[in-house]
Chains A and B, each alone.
Chain A
Amino acid sequence: MAFSFQSKAADLNVPQDELAQETVYPLFDNPVSVRNRNVQDSGTFDIGIFGGAAITEPIANTSKFGLSLNYHFNEAHALGLLYAKNSTGLSKDAQAMKDEFNLDFNRAPFPEYSLMADYNYKLYYGKLSVTKNGVLNTSIFVSAAGGMIKYVHKSYPAIAIGIGERFYFTNHLALKIDLRMFFNNAPIPFKAGALREGVDPVPSYDSFAERLTYTTNLEIGLNYLF
């Protein structure tokens, strides 16, 4: 439950007979791991901003920015909304293909934003002592989200599952890291003969075939609990 990464022990003067002799827990009528938590999130809201990257996105710009709002029902469950706006343009790889092979993936439909309801189950609350001067509380959670991803021409229902961690700098402010895998139907950006730059007519977005697509996203943001 508690970790400590310290490079140097301080000069402390505690008699040996006062140090714990065993590793058993004290006996209580109703034992719980932690009392008087620093981070009291039960019945609170948190609001967050984040930036993310679609790690496995081949064509569209991989970066996105978003906002999230969560309500923490108790110390285990939270439900919220998240909105992520995708950046426009192409990914590095798609830009290289454009430069090298004259393939313009801007002709293919690309995602604009996603809007999802996000459920978090908080698995673990703990703390880290990086130096002996401070303690950082942390919470690990799994997430399940459902909503839609809006492409330029159409909206697709989507679901996502993930795992994340919050590192609390104070009792309210946390760094949030979220890794999610999205599942949704999406247009296939590859269409023979339609992507060459200058070739007319420009294919309509509806003409692209669709299939189930998996995308892995990594998001990092700041959340404020109030």
Chain B
Amino acid sequence: MIKTSLILIPILIASLSAQAQQPEGRSYRAQIENSVNLIKTGKNLAAAQQLLGLSRTSTIPAERARIKYLFGLSLMELNLNQTAAFQFAELIRTGDPSWTKQAIEKLLVVTDKLGDETLLNFAIQRVDINQIPAQNREMLFYRLAETKHKAGLAKEAIEFYSKVTPRSRYYFNALYNMGLAQAESNQPDLALQSFRRLLNSRAKANVTDTNKVAAQMAIARVLYQKQDWAKSIEAYSLIPRDHKYWHDALFEKTWAMLRAARFRSTLSNFQSLHSSYYEDAYLPETLLLRSIVYLYICQYDEMEKVLSLYERQYGPALTRVNNFLKNTNSDMYFQEVNKTYQLKKNTDDKKQLALPYNILKRVSEEGDVRRSYAYLKKINDERKLVEGSSQLKGSSVGSYALRILNNRINSTRAVIGDQAKRHLTAIKEELTDLNEQSSFIRYEMINGKKETIKKRLSGKELPKSNEETRDRSFYVQNGYEYYPFQGEYWLDEIGNYHYLGKQSCE
């Protein structure tokens, strides 16, 4: 009896399965239509739930693709962009011709919102521009230009950037990047035209408008590239101090002044650049540059102070970077960058970092790290959205989304870790090189001192005038008042320090 039952069970299952498959197509279609209606009426969670269930059980390829697309659509409406992107990417991978085009369009939109470059590139490679709706076409031109630009194909990048019209929200970025690509491909005059167009188009904007300031900064840089030092200095001077680019402008202007042989002006700027307001800035090069200027004017004592400061700050920093680079786990790099971002927001306690704060700050401000971190923040926000909604969290869609998001978070952290490691390796190389240069500069300093002593002994030293004996090597002037600077930095004086020392060379 038992044996008969065991034989009957598979037959029964097979028979039930056959009965179930027969109306499958009709039943699925009805459920899909129902999901479409739910999306139309704004019941996106219910639609997503139903579509997730259907996507797991569907065996008909055409319906499967449609379900995937609709599922992605409902997730998009729920603001679950990363989870939606995953659906569209999956659908594109299957290569179903009837839904791929729509999926690419949607993938472009969600990845643009997320800043997910990997998926965006994935979509771009499969896109046919002519089939993309007009409202998304300019975004696509911009993204395509970016891809070409990154690949070093400046000419093609410029062509795509130029297709972005003033109507697009990418217009200013496209104009700026086009100028950048022109400058990179050694067309400084065309680059100047692009940057000036950008500047003019933002003429009425606030003085600290980022597009406006970035354009001004770019103009100064191109003029520097053209070795027009005077105009470059003038252009850098127009960067407003209450903008985050001001410090960079001051640093670059200092280089321009040095190239124009304006040593006194160069030293004036260093006083601001090396003020304690910028103690968190990574500026090893400027310290060496400052010491070289002191060498030019034979101020060996000042030179020694600056070189010692460099060695004190960046000697141990190199050792710490070297030690840290022995770590192979990319998450440790991510953790350091992450702490740096948290410190920026919350506290000044930098002792908990394994690396010097100024180095980590530099790494965290690198474009790729910043972009990846911004993307990570968006995925984290999406996870918070799921976890914060009891309805969503308790649903199968919520669990599914969390699984995808957690995977993406882990992989993005690894990406940030790798990016940080790459930048740290570059910093290590830079510091190693600069340390070597520092030794040469120190040698020149000792040599210079020796020559001065020789001259003094042979009575060749020039008598000092009264003006030279006055101790006023630095002073502060804002155009109306001046007084000696005594090493105390005031916020309203940054940028107003002037060096009055004279050269001590014969």
Q: Which residues of A contact B (CB under 8 A)?
A: 1-2, 4, 6, 9-10, 12, 14-15, 17-38, 127, 129, 132-135, 137
The answer to whether A36 touches B246 (Cβ under 8 A) is no
Asked whether any CB of chain A lies closer than 8 Å to the CB of B244, the reply is yes
Q: Which of B126-134, B135-143, B473-481 is the interface stretch?
A: B473-481
Residue of A29, A31, A37, A137 near B491 (CB, 8 A) is: A31
Q: How far is the CA of A15 from the CA of B498 in the complex (A)?
A: 10
B241 at the interface (CB under 8 A from A): yes
Contact B487 A38 (CB under 8 A): yes
B503 within 8 A of A: no
- B240 within 8 Å of A (CB atoms): yes
Collect the chain A residues with CB atoms within 8 Å of residue B241's CB. Answer: 20, 22, 24-27
**Beta-carbon contact of A127 and B491 below 8 Å:** no
B265 touches A18 (CB 8 A): yes
Query: Once bound together, how far apart are the Cα atoms of A18 and B498, in whole Å?
Result: 9
Residues of chain A lying within 8 A (CB to CB) of residue B268: 18
Query: Who on chain A is nearest to B242 by CB?
Result: A24
- The answer on a CB contact under 8 Å between A24 and B240 is yes
B482 interfacial by beta-carbon distance below 8 Å = yes
Q: Which of B240, B243, B246, B488 contacts A127 (CB 8 A)?
A: B488
5 intermolecular pairs with C-beta atoms under 8 Å apart: A4-B482, A25-B494, A26-B242, A30-B348, A35-B488
A22 cross-chain contacts in B, Cβ below 8 A:
240-241
- List CB contacts (< 8 Å) of B225-277 with chain A: 233-234, 237, 240-244, 246-247, 265, 268, 275-277
Q: What is the CB-to-nearest-CB distance from A166 to chain B, in angstroms, rounded to a whole number?
A: 16
A25 interface neighbour in B237, B242, B487, Cβ under 8 Å = B242
Give 5 closest A-B pairs by Cβ, nearest first.
A129-B483, A35-B276, A4-B481, A24-B242, A19-B479
Q: How far is the CB of B116 from chain A (nearest CB, A)?
A: 28
Chain A residues closer than 8 Å to B277, beta-carbon distance: 26, 28, 35
A1 CB to nearest B CB, Å: 6
For B492, list chain A residues within 8 Å (CB).
1-2, 23, 25, 33
Instruction: Kindly list chain A residues whose C-beta atoms are within 8 Å of the C-beta of B488.
Output: 34-38, 127, 135, 137
**Complexed CA–CA distance, A23 and B489 (Å):** 16
Chain A hits for B495, CB < 8 A: 20, 26
Q: Is the CB of B237 within 8 A of A17?
A: yes
> Total number of A-B contacts with CB less than 8 angstroms?
109
Contacts of B496 in A (CB 8 A): 19-20
Cβ contacts under 8 Å, B483 to chain A: 2, 4, 6, 129, 132, 134-135
Check B275–A35 contact: CB distance below 8 A: yes
Partner of B489, one of A9, A20, A29, A36: A36
Given A17-B237, A19-B477, decide whether A2 and B491 contact each other with a Cβ distance below 8 A.
no
A191 CA to B246 CA, complexed, in Å: 74
A interface footprint on B457-476 (CB within 8 Å = 1, 0 otherwise): 00000000000000000011
Write the nearest CB–CB distance from B309 to chain A, whole angstroms.
14
* Chain B residues within an 8 Å CB radius of A2: 476, 481, 483, 490, 492-493
CB contacts (< 8 Å) of B166 on chain A: these are none
Q: Is A133 in contact with B490, judged by CB distance below 8 angstroms?
A: no
Q: Is the CB of B242 within 8 A of A29?
A: no
- Is the CB–CB distance between B490 and A132 below 8 Å? no
Which of the residues B246, B275, B482, B484 comes within 8 Å of A27, measured between beta carbons?
B246
Q: Which residue of B lies closest to A9 (CB)?
A: B482
Q: How far is the CB of A14 from chain B (nearest CB, A)?
A: 5
Which partner residue on chain A sits nearest B276 by CB separation? A35
Interface pair B491/A132, CB less than 8 Å apart: no
Residues from chain B with Cβ under 8 Å of A23 in the complex? 492
Apart from A127-B490, A132-B483, list 13 A-B contacts with CB within 8 A.
A2-B490, A2-B493, A19-B478, A22-B241, A25-B242, A26-B241, A27-B242, A28-B277, A35-B277, A127-B488, A133-B484, A134-B484, A135-B488
Q: Are B482 and A34 in contact (CB under 8 A)?
A: no
Tell me how far the C-beta of A179 lies from the nearest C-beta in chain B, rounded to whole angstroms: 27
Contacts of B4 in A (CB 8 A): none
A12 to B479, CA, bound (A): 11
Q: Whose C-beta in chain A lies nearest to the C-beta of B241?
A: A26
CA distance A1 to B495 in the complex (A): 16
Given A15-B265, A22-B240, A27-B246, do A1 and B490 touch, yes or no (CB 8 Å)? yes
Is B392 close to A, CB under 8 A? no
Task: Judge if B325 is at the interface, Cβ distance under 8 Å.
Answer: no
User: Provided the pairs A26-B277, A27-B244 are in contact, do residues A35 and B489 lie with their beta carbons within 8 angstroms?
Assistant: yes
Complex Cα distance, B482 from A106, in Å, reads 57
Write out the residue numbers on chain A whose beta carbons fall within 8 Å of the beta carbon of B233. Answer: 17
- Chain A residues whose CB sits within 8 angstroms of the CB of B320 once the complex forms: none
Q: Knowing A1-B490, A31-B491 touch, does A10 contact B482 (C-beta < 8 A)?
A: yes
Which among B246, B478, B481 is the interface contact of A26 at CB below 8 angstroms?
A: B246
A25 to B484, CA, bound (A): 20
| Chain B residues within an 8 Å CB radius of A127 | 488, 490
Q: Report the bound CA distance from A134 to B36 in whole Å.
A: 80
Looking across the interface, which residue of chain A has its beta carbon closest to that of B479?
Answer: A19
